[in-house]
């Protein structure tokens, strides 16, 4: 598997995260890292980053881990905790790691951190691996 080519494909062909400015920096079996710099458009009415931004960043990182299998996958469940609020201009990083276990149902842990390593959100995502190959 050409993981660099797959990473580029995911960055080019994933319109919702791309619209939010989310970029997959690293992708390999069992691990992915996605990043985003918070903009003014990402803020909610109380001027902190909207929870959907953290969640989409985390889901994108986890989905990228699943893509490393070369097959499509879908999120089927998640538990996500928001711990701290980011401000515009802060760079967020989501690091996702697959837990040992399932073959068609896979569980991943993800941490969303800031530039100083502070923890903004954490979660557990469950994915179902599909029998459809990713064509890139």
Decide: 66 and 127 in contact? Cβ < 8 Å.
yes
Euclidean distance between the first and the last CA atom of the chain, given in angstroms as a whole number: 11
Q: How confident is the model at residue 102 (pLDDT cuts 50, 70, 90)?
A: confident
Average pLDDT estimate for 8-34: 97
| Sequence-ordered alpha helix ranges (H) in 2-135 | 3-12, 15-20, 51-67
| CATH homologous superfamily of 3-133 | Hotdog Thioesterase (3.10.129.10)
Residue ranges covered by each domain of the chain: 3-133
Strands 23-28, 105-113: pairing kind = unpaired
Q: How far apart are CA 53 and CA 132, in angstroms?
A: 28
**Number of C-beta neighbours around residue 5 at 10 A:** 11
SS3 67: helix
User: What pLDDT score does 8 carry?
Assistant: 97
CA distance 22 to 32: 13
Confidence of residue 128 (pLDDT cuts 50, 70, 90): very high
> Which pLDDT belongs to residue 97?
98
pLDDT band at 73 (very low <50, low <70, confident <90, very high): very high
């Amino acid at each position: 598997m050409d993981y660099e080519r797959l990473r580029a494909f995911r960055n080019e062909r994933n319109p919702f995260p791309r619209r939010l400015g989310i970029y997959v920096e690293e992708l390999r079996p069992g691990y992915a890292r996605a990043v985003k710099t918070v903009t003014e458009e990402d803020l909610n009415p109380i001027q902190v980053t909207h929870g959907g931004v953290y969640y989409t960043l985390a889901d994108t990182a986890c989905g990228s881990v699943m893509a490393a299998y070369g097959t499509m996958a879908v999120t089927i469940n998640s538990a996500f905790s928001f711990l701290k609020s980011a401000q515009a201009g802060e760079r967020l990083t989501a690091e996702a790691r697959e837990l040992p276990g399932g073959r068609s149902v896979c569980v991943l842990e993800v941490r969303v951190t800031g530039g100083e390593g502070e923890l903004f959100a954490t979660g557990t995502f469950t994915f179902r691996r599909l029998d459809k190959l990713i064509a890139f």
